[in-house]
Amino acid sequence: MQVRILGCSGTIAKGCRTTSFLLGEHVLVDAGTGVGQLTLEEMQRIDHVFLTHSHLDHIAALPLMLDAVGANRRRPLEVHALPQTLAALHAHVFNDVIWPDFTRIPSPAAPFVRLSPLGVGDVFVCAGIPMEVLPARHSVPAVGYAARGAVGWWVYSGDTQGNEPGFWRRVNALHQEGGGVAALLIETAFSNAEADLACKSQHLSPATLMRELAALQGAKPPPVYITHTKPREGRLIMHEVQALDLGALRPVDLQSVQILQV
């Protein structure tokens, strides 16, 4: 499976786009400003969007994408997320004030978008891709996702403050399967100097990332990619991550990656 890294930055600046990953051609995970990288035709081929949580950097392009391609699609775009995330989206974005209520437009029977609730631990196959919803702890209800490719599992933590034993239990279990975890994307939004801010906003910093990665089991750790760094601190965060005593782990800056084959 090809995973295109459309955006993996904590916020915007020239060359920095917020979180969005395209799995194959039909599945999008998070809909940050990275979606603006796609052509109309590529956007039109997306049938499913999985959201980790309701924060703007993960949903910003969803209303605009629907405006761009909704009328050219034959069926509604399915947006999958926790019920709380979908309720927030409906109340605060698709509310006929910030943006039209595309869950009822052009008609309630055939709208541009359908909101489909999911729950932690759900497993299913979407557009031919086996997927699982993973637990995450953040300042709003949040999840991570695992998606199975031909090589192994692609795992994405979403935004998280960590300390989520359930997440690591599943990651370690998936890593025991044939192929194991082929790519683990984990956020590190702040530098160590901003550890207090990271804690308050329930994100990771390099010091807390190290505690998280200590939960990884197995002789051969999976490839780890750092995501969601703030543009003004990106280099510092990666410098601090690379200075950690992580044994065989060598985390890579996801900003330097365009496509993952998993």
Contact of 249 with 224, CB cutoff 8 Å:
yes
Answer for the pair 113, 104: CB distance below 8 angstroms, yes or no: no
Based on CB atoms, which residue is closest to Zn ion, 105 or 140?
A: 140
Tell how strand 259-261 and strand 2-7 pair up. antiparallel
Site for Zn ion in 7-66 (CB under 5 A): 55, 57
The contact pattern for Zn ion, residues 85-124, with x = CB under 5 A and - = no contact, is ----------------------------------------
Q: Name the minimum Å distance from CB 101 to Zn ion.
A: 24
As measured in angstroms, the least distance from the Cβ of 150 to Zn ion is 29
How far apart are the C-alpha atoms of 139 and 202, rounded to whole Å?
Answer: 6
Q: How far apart are CA 168 and CA 162, in angstroms?
A: 9
Are 37 and 17 within 8 A, CB to CB? Answer: yes
Q: Whose Cβ is closer to Zn ion: residue 81's or residue 182's? A: 81
Q: Map residue 38 onto helix, strand or coil.
A: coil
Site string for Zn ion, 132-161 (x = CB under 5 A): ---------------------------x--
**To the nearest whole angstrom, how small is the minimum distance from the Cβ of residue 146 to Zn ion?**
19
Interface contacts to Zn ion, rule CB under 5 A? 55, 57, 159
